[in-house]
Structure 1
Amino acid sequence: MDATANIMCQEDPVNPVVSTCLQVCGILVVSHLFHLIFKPLGQPGPVAQVLAGLVLGPTLLCRIYVIERFFIKPNSAEYYRFYAFFARIFFMFLLGLEFDVPFLKRNLHLVTTVAYGGFMACGIFGAAISWFIIRELTISYNKIAFAIVTIILIANSASPVVIRLAADLKLDTSDVGRLAMSSSLINEMSCSLLFSLVVAFTEDGMFKTLLLSIFLTASLILVNCYLVIWFNTKSRNQKFINNSQVLLILVLLISVSMIIESSGLYSTVHCFLVGMMFPREGKTTRTLLHKLTYAVHNFVLPSYFGFTGFQFNISSLSTIDNVIVALVMVSLSIAGKILGTLLACYYLKIPLNIEAVILAFILNLKGHADLVVVDASPNSEKWWGEDIRRLLLSVIVLNTLMAGPVVSFIMRKQEVQLTHNRTSIECLDPESELRMICCVYKPRNASGQLGLCSALRGKQGAAITPYLMHLVELPKRRKKKNLMYHQLQDGDQFSDEDEYGGNDVMEINEAVDIFSSETKIFVRQIKAVSSFPTMYEDVCSQAEDLRVSLIFLPFHKHQRIDGKMEKGKDEMRSTNQKIIRHAPCSVGILVDRGCLEFQRLLAPDSLQSVATLFFGGPDDREAIACSKRLAMHHHLNLTVIRFLPSEFGEEDVNVSSSTASPHFNLGNEVFMSIARRNPENKRDDVYMDEFYKRYVSSGQIGYVEKNLRDGAETLQALRDIGDMYSLFIVGKGRRGCSPLTTGMSDWEECPELGVVGDLLASMDFDIKSSVLVIQQHRHTSSKSFTDD
């Protein structure tokens, strides 16, 4: 707070600014160097950067006179705090922009229980030992305020440190990682709010200031909503909004933050709320994420973490009393987080396994709200002097340096248990979250892929996390534009990486913006720039890192205006085939004939018919699992058509959703005879029996059985229903030797679609329906945090 006021009171405001910038650059360089050294050892970035600051600070290298003279100057402290003020604004605003609001809404009870479980346990421990610390440190005034500060330091979880550590350890897309990030944000916002309330009620006139800050925050959120609409409309023909518009948004944010901080409060909660409530759709948010993410993650946070370690001074632990106080606070912080988190997991009936332990240690990371509390007027008598401040800083640094390596060590030991296991959707409940990647090569692929996202959303508010991945061919010769920054047009980017994809990027962005504004589904966009021979590696690695259960690929042929299918690049087909072979999850190929556009699914009078063809096998079961989610969409009418050998019946059997299936009423003799023929058939019958009882008997899904003798009858049956449905869903294959498909592979053109899928996609078959071919990934399932 005082940094914004004292920064303008220096006698020589030029040289200290230059020297402080050089010092920050030095901390930044050393922090990145330590990160490079410790990353191969499995240590995440925040831990390495805090350790770099510790080595560079007065504990070690600053004991050398030359280094101390460079880094520690009388006027530097206020400038460091002024830099920390801007750092807090930008990374808390970015955290709000990147915050997974749908996850919090779905798991609000879970997240708050875990967050406040650790908070309450640490709060009880902190309150219990505050009298001991007050006696050991001989605190003679403001004892209640010191006790509250002690509770905050023990109970707080630093969300920026947690988020960066989770990203470095590739936990940010896992259930335990997202739970840790959301819980740390709830915890930190609660601690910041508690400290603001303490300040507001202990100082005269501060309660009115608190009300003013709430009014300013609400006003800025409202202003941003109108600015986003205006900027998106004004920049309709551009990839990004221009730099002046970005500057206006950031200036408003900084101005309101400075007003709040100059009034005696902290803007941490304010910046986060403004970012979280910022409209997600359109070019404005995309531009802010593009410009802020790289700068904050690679410059602001490393220097901030490095400066945290830089403030650690071993001299603060020079006495026995101080060492005892530090050890007690660190021990109780770790014990409180472990006890509170495990009790919360037990209450929520979450298995007390290794993930619960990792969650507890992650939530013990310190470094943001703690620094805000400790840095509050450090030279004022109200906050107990510089010696107490240095001791509390030591506790913060020691907590982080202990918790971070423990998390990385446990993860290395339990790597197999923490790997992604939701690699198919057969074993997932239709109500659970579906994470998927939709790949596009050209803008024409976007409509069909977004239509699938809209259809798979099912009912309103269902859990879905779609990623749209633009696959761009890397040109053989890179076309660098040797332009200085000031020579670029306003709104252009300095890196030539954004030129890859050309105008396709703009058209895809426009399609995503329209989709998000109409469906309220936030689509996260990714770009993979690579040569075609290695492009599949980018897709597979992203699928593994993002922990998706399904990858959708566009067919290498596209439909022309006259209805004919035109062949695209052979490299696209080759890439699709490689992804199918190497994908770490299930894969679907969409043959798009324009029948599943999301605009049609939003029309009030729209009702499209979808058919799922079931011949048997794991791929067809995966197709049924995918169909369950489509059945929940109120503009889709789903029918499952099961093809059976004629030995189980003399005639085709049509079963409505309100009648019983004759096949399932034949008795146990039928199931036993099927099981004797093939173990896979037993799984099919058990799966279809459960499916029938849950979905068909209740009237949600239609069901038809067709009894056929050979491939010729199957071909004729498919021709009969070819014009009845907008979309056919079918498994790729792995059915074994089925008489129903005998002879159908003689004219197979695209083996990646399977026998039936290739037939439906063929121009010779002459249907107008789109086709979705599903291949299931073989996987093992295990219970996770958000399973019910």
Structure 2
Amino acid sequence: MPPQNASQETIVCYAPLMITTHGIWQGDNPLDYSLPLFILQLILVVLTTRILVFILKPFRQPRVISEILFYALTNVLKMIYISIFGYFGVNCVNEHVQGGVILGPSVMGRSSIFANAVFPLRSVMVLETMANIGLLYFLFLVGVEMDIAVIRRTGRKAIIIAFAGMILPFLIGISFSFLLHQRTQVVKQGTFILFLGVALSVTAFPVLARLLAELKLLNTEIGRIAMSSALVNDMCAWILLALAIALGENESVNLATLWVVLSSAGFIVFCIFVVRPLIFWVIQKTPEGESVSEFYICLILTGVMISGFITDAIGTHSVFGAFIFGLVIPNGPLGVTLIERLEDFVSGLLLPLFFAISGLKTSIGAIDGASTWGILALVIILACAGKIAGTLLVALLYQMPFYDGVALGLLMNSKGLVEMIILNVGKDQKVLDDKSFAIMVVVALVMTAIITPAVTIIYKPARRFAPYKRRTILKTKPDNDLRTLVCIHTPRNVPTIINLLEAANPTKKSPLCVYALHLVELTGRASAMLIVHNSRKSGRPAANRTQAQSDHIINAFESFEQNAEYVSVQPLTAISPYSTMHEDICSVAEDKRVAFLILPFHKQQTVDGGMEATNPAYRVINQNVLANSPCSVGILVDRGFGGNTRVAGNQISHNIAVVFIGGPDDREALAFAWRMASHPGSTLTVMRFVSGNDVQEPTSSTGRIENDPRVLTVVTDSDRQKQEDDEFINQFRTMIAHDDSIAYTEQVVNNGEETVAAIRSVDNVHDLFIVGRGQGLVSPLTAGLTDWSECPELGAIGDLLASSDFAATVSVLVVQQYVGSDLADFALSPDSPAENHHENFMNHTQR
């Protein structure tokens, strides 16, 4: 029997001129030519990877799992194929060549014709070349996106955790290398030790970010520590990888190895002190607001290949040169342009080829025998335990909870592309043989796959949220700050939201605490994160368009904080899939003990005054938040409230109107408007609609309505709500009796038509309507309005005011009060409306 590392040699004939076909009508087979064959292979690779991603999506696994599974699966199918056809005497030599890739013969056809036609050996060189070009540019983009300054700003705890999480797995890798070396044909033991140690100790930063997003841990302390530690770990891994590559050709340190190290250091110095200043010069020559010229973009993309060629020539892998070249690209418009032009093409199309071509080097069949599988299980257990133990030790020293430390250790076990690169380089340099390579691939796959379920079981962040009572504006005491969470999709949402907050009249006794949450869709393009932003004191421009938008929003709110009195602002950025964005919003609201949450409406005003939908996903987010919010919610329909430019607080002038029909939502809406009315530049008109003599009271009809916990159709409940409405209005009228800036009117109506007519007759002098959503309230005064409602999430009155048919182009704030178990106690609670607003009323009357 030949040794395990022996490879079969096959002579392959290439036809250099057979690149493009003359067409099937000329009798040519397209698969005999390089270009159409490569296109077909690329289609199969990308489609197979995407299908695996779709299959694993319900299990909340990162995309790298699908990509690793892809080339692991091809080898499993290869073994099945060989076993079946070998049993029947079919010649499978071509398919069993070391590193052969069979894309599912058991799936796409039980015939060697498919394998020989679609993946012939002559195509391997083209595939591997394109795969390495994709890898080259991907590592360049990684360097462009990475900010070394972040490491300098990383806390001491994260740095110590990063090193502690590397040392123990590295030592375990060294021990494992001695055990595995006896069972393999590896010759370079010293370099073998280094490669295994690095592979086991590395943490994949992009994979970890995605896992944190899926687990909803990005806004937690453990998430921030894990992200910072992984970044430090990644940088250390690159340094160790460069050292391992330098030692790969020589078992001992000699003159050649020294030259490799010195040449690599010289290349780094050249990039820092020559290339980086040149790129700064290019940026300075570009006029502000304009993109970098195509000429310079082409030069930089050519520089990536030149860097790869230089580092490959001096004995370091080409990806090292591309990564360093990307690392010296300054953050700013140039980085934005490079990322936006390359990322989708490289990550989505070329990078899967790297995982596919890795299937040529992976032989799952090399893991033979019970003893080898026992070693594999032992490596997985020890590597995970080492990472967890090292991280847990430091976490306990910093007095972190035990389960937090265990969860952090599990998260630091994330593996991904960096480890695949390390293993492939080791395989290319004959440091790793088939068995050790296959074992490490399975280790990476299993360690990353178990993280999500393990952390879900161990770490329960929901338990950390302490209950709080002041979840509504009515429940907020006058001597406490009003905690408000505002959500922003684009910078266009910012001016109206800031004007609304300015008009909310923050005072010394009742300041305004604002959490500004920028909502960004999580796609496969970017690392997922939720970061508490500190001031960008460095003044450095953003690294990508999303960050540029986030910076614009942050700067606007920080300017609002500096210019307004008694306002504190904490900007946040949440990057999450739109389907689960509401979970992040509600989690932040719960964590920050927010009383009022403001969402932008999914439609925006057009030039002609109409309303058009910007993104249908925004509406779904709003609906999900309304259904799950831990506090009161307001949906803001933006029609230019306060204009697009901010004015001084003492110069603003707003005319606010409240439509009051009754119910907890309307009381909450009036409570917020009452606070706004205390502002010296605001006037408030409250229009209460009361039932006339000809009104027909609705009766409980359908079971669907009765089963809604918010529907107030039971007579006793309706009577109690009406009593609370009367008490609240009486308190309000008593306190505004001597205030000329607040007007109160009552209009008698008998049905929905009269209500609409009365609202339409209001003078076009108001710039903001505040109304309750009226969810669950069955009132004869709004009967029939919901039948024609275009946006039910706004309620009957809110939908009317926001529609294009409404004559006045006025902004609308639709309020829904938080529904808790103590809904019935609102009017009878110690924090009654009268007590809550007495202080504001006194300030208002004395202005």
TM surpasses 0.5: yes
Task: Report the residue type matching 2:413 in the other structure.
Answer: N
Tell me if the contact between 1:439 and 1:552 (Cα under 8 Å) persists in the aligned partners: no
Question: Superposed, which structure 2 residues align to 1:165-564 within 5 Å?
Answer: 169=214, 175=220, 180=226, 182-197=228-243, 202=253, 203-205=257-259, 206-217=261-272, 219-228=274-283, 233=288, 235=290, 246-266=297-317, 282=333, 285-318=335-368, 325-353=375-403, 359-376=408-425, 378=427, 385=430, 388-410=432-454, 436-438=487-489, 447-448=495-496, 466-467=518-519, 515=552, 542-544=581-583, 552-553=599-600
Task: Report the residue type matching 1:51 in the other structure.
Answer: L
> Which residue matches 1:48?
66
Tell me if the contact between 1:49 and 1:305 (Cα under 8 Å) persists in the aligned partners: yes
Tell me if the contact between 2:275 and 2:328 (Cα under 8 Å) persists in the aligned partners: no
Secondary structure at 1:157 match in 2: coil
Distance 2:324 2:681 in 1: 45
For residues 173-232 of structure 1, the C-alpha deviation after alignment (integer angstroms, 9 at most, x for no partner) is 564667655544432321121232456684122224314224315654444455456557
For residues 117-170 of structure 1, the C-alpha deviation after alignment (integer angstroms, 9 at most, x for no partner) is 321221232344554445555877663x43332321221123455456667x47
Question: Superposed, which structure 2 residues align to 1:368-767 within 5 Å?
Answer: 368-376=417-425, 378=427, 385=430, 388-410=432-454, 436-438=487-489, 447-448=495-496, 466-467=518-519, 515=552, 542-544=581-583, 552-553=599-600, 568-569=610-611, 580-583=622-625, 586-589=633-636, 593=640, 595=642, 709-710=733-734, 713=737, 716-718=740-742
Deviation at 1:401, TM superposition (A): 2.6
Tell me if the contact between 1:99 and 1:276 (Cα under 8 Å) persists in the aligned partners: yes
Q: Aligned match of 1:33 in 48, 56, 70?
A: 48
Q: Aligned match of 1:85 in 120, 132, 147?
A: 132
Task: Report the residue type matching 2:47 in the other structure.
Answer: H
Tell me if the contact between 2:380 and 2:447 (Cα under 8 Å) persists in the aligned partners: no
For residues 507-565 of structure 1, the C-alpha deviation after alignment (integer angstroms, 9 at most, x for no partner) is x99995994797699998999xxxxxxxxxx97755457877566426979799xxxxx
Tell me if the contact between 1:361 and 1:407 (Cα under 8 Å) persists in the aligned partners: yes
Matched, 1:60 2:94: no
Distance 1:392 1:110 in 2: 34
Distance 1:320 1:197 in 2: 34
The verdict on how the C-alpha distance between 1:350 and 1:526 changes in structure 2, with shifts beyond 3 A counting, is: closer
Tell me if the contact between 2:169 and 2:387 (Cα under 8 Å) persists in the aligned partners: yes
Tell me if the contact between 2:362 and 2:434 (Cα under 8 Å) persists in the aligned partners: yes
The verdict on how the C-alpha distance between 1:115 and 1:427 changes in structure 2, with shifts beyond 3 A counting, is: farther
Tell me if the contact between 1:553 and 1:588 (Cα under 8 Å) persists in the aligned partners: yes
For residues 268-290 of structure 1, the C-alpha deviation after alignment (integer angstroms, 9 at most, x for no partner) is 566557657756655x5555444
> Which residue matches 2:196?
150
Secondary structure at 1:589 match in 2: strand
Distance 1:434 1:379 in 2: 53
For residues 380-428 of structure 1, the C-alpha deviation after alignment (integer angstroms, 9 at most, x for no partner) is 5xxxx46x33233213211133124323545787999789999999889
Task: Report the residue type matching 2:489 in the other structure.
Answer: C
Secondary structure at 1:259 match in 2: helix
> Which residue matches 1:634?
none
Deviation at 1:373, TM superposition (A): 3.4
The verdict on how the C-alpha distance between 1:23 and 1:578 changes in structure 2, with shifts beyond 3 A counting, is: closer
Tell me if the contact between 1:166 and 1:177 (Cα under 8 Å) persists in the aligned partners: yes
Distance 2:71 2:670 in 1: 53
Tell me if the contact between 2:604 and 2:614 (Cα under 8 Å) persists in the aligned partners: no
Distance 1:575 1:372 in 2: 37
Distance 2:324 2:465 in 1: 34
Tell me if the contact between 1:221 and 1:277 (Cα under 8 Å) persists in the aligned partners: yes
**CA-based RMSD:** 6.9
Q: Aligned match of 1:122 in 164, 169, 173?
A: 169
List alignment gaps of at least 5 residues for structure 1. 1-9, 470-507, 528-537, 561-565, 626-636, 642-676, 682-705, 721-726, 738-742, 744-748, 762-767, 781-788
For residues 645-681 of structure 1, the C-alpha deviation after alignment (integer angstroms, 9 at most, x for no partner) is xxxxxxxxxxxxxxxxxxxxxxxxxxxxxxxx99xx9
Secondary structure at 2:345 match in 1: helix
Tell me if the contact between 2:602 and 2:616 (Cα under 8 Å) persists in the aligned partners: no
Question: Percent same amino acid among aligned pairs?
Answer: 18
TM-score by length of 1: 0.57
Distance 1:326 1:376 in 2: 21
Secondary structure at 1:466 match in 2: strand
Task: Report the residue type matching 1:335 in the other structure.
Answer: A
Task: Report the residue type matching 1:370 in the other structure.
Answer: E
Matched, 1:112 2:167: no
> Which residue matches 2:116?
none
The verdict on how the C-alpha distance between 1:448 and 1:31 changes in structure 2, with shifts beyond 3 A counting, is: same
Secondary structure at 1:366 match in 2: coil
Secondary structure at 1:436 match in 2: strand
> Which residue matches 1:672?
none
Distance 2:393 2:653 in 1: 47
Tell me if the contact between 1:365 and 1:399 (Cα under 8 Å) persists in the aligned partners: no
List alignment gaps of at least 5 residues for structure 2. 1-11, 20-32, 83-91, 102-118, 248-252, 473-479, 507-513, 522-544, 559-570, 590-596, 673-678, 684-719, 725-729, 745-766, 782-788, 803-808, 822-847
Number of equivalent positions:
619
Higher-Rg member (1/2): 2
The verdict on how the C-alpha distance between 1:197 and 1:420 changes in structure 2, with shifts beyond 3 A counting, is: same
Tell me if the contact between 2:488 and 2:494 (Cα under 8 Å) persists in the aligned partners: no
Tell me if the contact between 2:502 and 2:649 (Cα under 8 Å) persists in the aligned partners: no
For residues 351-385 of structure 1, the C-alpha deviation after alignment (integer angstroms, 9 at most, x for no partner) is 444x76565445334343334434447565xxxx4
The verdict on how the C-alpha distance between 1:757 and 1:309 changes in structure 2, with shifts beyond 3 A counting, is: same
TM-score by length of 2: 0.53
Distance 1:600 1:124 in 2: 59
Distance 1:102 1:774 in 2: 43
Tell me if the contact between 2:170 and 2:198 (Cα under 8 Å) persists in the aligned partners: yes
Tell me if the contact between 1:334 and 1:364 (Cα under 8 Å) persists in the aligned partners: yes
Tell me if the contact between 1:424 and 1:778 (Cα under 8 Å) persists in the aligned partners: no
Tell me if the contact between 2:500 and 2:641 (Cα under 8 Å) persists in the aligned partners: no
